[in-house]
Structure 1
Amino acid sequence: MGVVTLPKQDRSRVTRQRLLESAVACLAAHGWAGSTVSVVAEYAGVSRGAAQHHFPTREDLFTAAVEYVAEERSTALGALRPQGRAEAVEALVDLYTGPLFRAALHLWVAASNEPQLGGRVTELEARVGRETHRIAVELLGADESVPGVREVVQGLLDMARGLGLANLLTDDRVRRERVVCEWGVLVDRVLG
């Protein structure tokens, strides 16, 4: 039996996917300064030339990686069927406490100091923020026509981001679980 080879288009798609996943892993593990195209290519097991074929600049690679993360996150959130608002609150907080958030955070910090990256990340973050808010409203069964509900949902997302930031330096799981539990009760009471 011979070796099965993928058509060129499929190989290209697989290579691109590996580069995006590797970029996220590198950014989460090494930050912006330690995440070069060469490092990402090595992680992905492809040549630097192959990486640059897909992503001509470092900024192209990392903004595409964060966009990829956002799409994956939206897909995962959209597939959730939480059993009640407390579980929805937990799922939303989980978005901000994992390696994907860590990677995005490194990109945000870099964007604050890299003019060529700043505009792209700001635009991407605005789109991701709107999509995350929309999904949160759906998961929580929130009616934003009721005064104050939009602010409660946004407050929940802001709180989740803050917990994600706290989690960067220390394993904040025990405190976070208590906070998330209380927020689940509060959100259910306000939206109920």
Structure 2
Amino acid sequence: METEIKHQRNYQEIILWLEKKGVELYGNQFKILESDYPLIYKLMAYFLKDEATCYQYGINLDKGVLLSGPVGCGKTTLMHLMKNLTPVEHKFNIKPCRDISFEFIQEGYEIIHKYSKGKLYQSDPKTICFDDLGTENNLKYFGNECNVMAEIMLSRYDLFVSKKIKTHITTNLSVSEVETAYGNRVRSRLRNMINLIAFDKTTKDKR
């Protein structure tokens, strides 16, 4: 059980520090709910590279993170907060999938290259969090339809295998919905390259 996990650091103190950071970023109304602590402990263990605690949680530090949960439960906010815990060599950018889809409409297939093997990964940060996977649509460029994020995920799997570059994702989709939207190949690759950390389906909208 999660209550039996022995943390190597004082996670309670770190949560209070993160809450202060959240107030700085999002205003005085920001609060980390105690009901979310078990999930946040997992994220903290991962981004602090706390090997002993990750081992107890079954989290693989060589993989990225897929953070899933209902709309408004705080996935994007938490990933922004986790950037404050991440060692310099593991820093990451957060990129909304909808923005990538709009870039694709304007610039075409070069965008797929940009977020997989392009110049973006010749300098830090080498890791990226694709935010709100599933909110973008299949788009057309000069009449050709393309599932942009599916192509990016497949390319990033190749990067993961060849260069150990991680990918993080936030999404409202369930695992089966990911397969429906992006195909079995993408789901299979994601299983190999990420740790699934999920909010309870009943988590309320915090907005």
Q: Structure 2 length normalisation: TM-score? A: 0.28
Whichever structure has more strand as a proportion of its residues is 2
The structure number with the bigger radius of gyration is 1
Whichever structure has more helix as a proportion of its residues is 1
Q: Structure 1 length normalisation: TM-score? A: 0.30
Q: Which has the higher contact order (CA 8 A, sep 6+)?
A: 2
